[in-house]
Structure 1
Amino acid sequence: MKTLDDAALERAAEFLRLNGRLIDRHRFALHFRGGPAGPVLAALRAYENPDGGYGHALEPDLRGEGSQPVPAQHALEFLHEAGADDDPAVTRIGDYLTSITAAGGGVPFVLPSVRGTPRAPWWQTPQTPADPPGAVNPTATLAGLLHRAGSRHPWLGPATDFCWRHLEGPGADLGAYDVLAILTFLDHVPDRDRAEAAFTRLRDALAAHAHSDHHGPLDFAPRPAGYGRRLFTGETVDAALDALVDAQADDGGWDVAFPIWTPITRHEWRGFTTVETLRTLRAHGRMS
């Protein structure tokens, strides 16, 4: 069993100092240096918009200033890491999601406003209809994260119903990101019996789609607890953890496996990925 030693952690720290975004440097300090949560929250504020949503490349492949649904899930993750589930920003995110919710209770994957902004080529929205429909990705992720935060925002009721209809209705085509969204929802939705029943029914379908050209087992099982871990054997997870330790680059960081369409995004994604990788290794007991 391979583990990451202290020297490797120091190399990761130096990589982040040289290359990481301010918010990821503060996140590293919070998780691995006993740093305070305040700087993480202060850095996050710079990405927030007056409508309560987030833009300004908090999601590195969306370079526009305006709010989009997926950056809101990054914000909820960072708020939770900082122990700030009761921060007023959580309520503001709920208000923002209410303002963009489609008929049925879901939010679109991306809003039409993306068309006038620099973005990665995979961030596309159909020309018709004018108002895109809600999608399980990212609605299920956002609902799951708000449930984890203990939110009672009115947006959550219709959004949760939207997710249950998706999970309990006729089978739909799944992609890797849909699986991630569904797992987040099932991990945190309050009705645990219903979540367990849904996972049992969908497990084979989720497992069959829990991969892509840039997703591996640990993307779906970053922590030992949670439904994602139940999609893989122990041998598969152990092999993935060994490979993750070996994947640290000579400069101390970890790279990404998806295309880079403009140079800055490699640095931004690598800083984020390095912090996430270290958190995954520690959660699985792979840091000495």
Structure 2
Amino acid sequence: MDVLARAAAYLELHGRLLDRLRFEALFAGGSRDRVLDVLRCYQNADGGFGNALEPDLRGAGSQPEPVEVAFHVLDELDAFADPMAPRACDYLLSVTTGDGGVPFVLPGVRGTARAPWWETDDDPPGNLVPTASIAALLHKHRAVHPWLERATAFCWTRIAAVERTTPYEARAIVAFLEEAPDRERAEAEFARLREAVLDTVALDPDTPGEAHFPLDFAPAPSRLPLFEADLLDRHLDALAAAQSPEGGWGGNWLMWTPVVEHEWGGYVTVERLKTLRAYGRLS
């Protein structure tokens, strides 16, 4: 059984409807509109997304991070013309802090089931995670919205202050610099921060635990390459070999309740297949 057939079998057993339909749309000639119809069910009246679209945030209420998840789905379908996108930007504008960014997580998360790292102060500041990642996707699709202008200014200011970083922040920075329209500034910041970003990357594909690997930073070939081709080839070999006997891939972070292992498994499996295809590893 080939990679895609094994993945389809895994998703049938473990995946959410959203991720099964994503797989069908991306790899099996399925309906793009059906994916969008299901994604719409995760969007709230305020334009934000919740309802465990980001599996570690189980609550119904809107949060900034599920907007990023939704935008990744719109990205893979080239569907930023869908009304979900501007409605989500309206939501982001409503929760933007005085510095121009959106917080990592909002206090509304309290009292909801969630992974232990989703904690916040009463008045959280803007954060590059997920502001920079969301702005990157909007720039990629040449979106126009008042939120994006403020968020872009926030990202430039925050990135300019970075000397050392963490894996998730580094990934957000790389995504933003990949898509920011000011290419001269983006390339200068990339050159300045390249070593700091590399310090957060696990270069050995056998690194255990919650490691962040080259393909997490470059899930598709990048115009701001961090990694040599031979290193990427090693990690692509390891990624292909990591497909489980059931046909899926999972996350390497804490699975704190049984349902998230299945929900993340379906989501991650589609993401891994996208990476293998982007690098020419799927027929």
What TM-score results when the alignment is normalised by the length of structure 1?
A: 0.93
Give the residue type in structure 1 aligned to 2:68: Q
1:220 to 204, 217, 220: 217
Distance 1:74 1:67 in 2: 12
Distance 1:226 1:72 in 2: 25
1:116 partner SS = coil
1:241 maps to 236
Distance 1:57 1:268 in 2: 9
Higher RCO, Cα 8 Å, sep 6+: 1
1:49 to 44, 49, 56: 44
| Offset, 1:111 | 0.2
1:231 partner SS = coil
Is 2:94 the partner of 1:103? no
Distance 2:199 2:71 in 1: 28
1:204 maps to 195
Distance 1:8 1:99 in 2: 43
Is 2:175 the partner of 1:184? yes
1:130-169 counterparts in 2 under 5 A? Answer: 130-169=122-161
Distance 2:198 2:212 in 1: 13
1:157 partner SS = helix
Q: How many residues align?
A: 277
| Offset, 1:106 | 0.7
Distance 2:211 2:52 in 1: 21
- The percent identity for this pair of structures is 52
Partners of 1:106 and 1:139 within 8 A in 2: yes
Distance 2:223 2:251 in 1: 24
| Offset, 1:87 | 1.2
In structure 2, list runs of 5 or more residues that go unmatched: 203-208
1:273 to 268, 271, 275: 268
What TM-score results when the alignment is normalised by the length of structure 2?
A: 0.94
Q: CA RMSD in A?
A: 1.3
Partners of 2:128 and 2:158 within 8 A in 1: yes
Partners of 2:18 and 2:35 within 8 A in 1: yes
Partners of 1:179 and 1:210 within 8 A in 2: no
Partners of 2:170 and 2:200 within 8 A in 1: yes
Which consecutive segments of 4 or more residues in structure 1 shift more than 2 A? Answer: 210-214
Distance 1:145 1:279 in 2: 16
1:45-84 counterparts in 2 under 5 A? Answer: 45-84=40-79
Distance 1:244 1:84 in 2: 28
Partners of 1:37 and 1:83 within 8 A in 2: no
Give the residue type in structure 2 aligned to 1:238: D
| Offset, 1:172 | 4.4
1:40 partner SS = helix
1:106 partner SS = coil
Distance 1:55 1:141 in 2: 17
Give the residue type in structure 1 aligned to 2:63: Q
In structure 1, list runs of 5 or more residues that go unmatched: 1-5
The worse-fitting range, judged by mean Cα deviation, of 196-205 and 262-271 is 196-205
Is 2:117 the partner of 1:122? yes
Give the residue type in structure 2 aligned to 1:79: L
Deviations 1:248-286, CA, capped at 9 Å, x for gaps: 111111122111110000000000111111111111111
Distance 1:150 1:87 in 2: 14
Q: 1:173 to 1:125 in 2, by over 3 A?
A: farther
Partners of 2:104 and 2:130 within 8 A in 1: yes
2:245 partner SS = coil
2:153 partner SS = helix
1:3 maps to none
1:193 partner SS = helix
Distance 2:172 2:223 in 1: 13
Deviations 1:213-242, CA, capped at 9 Å, x for gaps: 332111111111243xx2222222111111
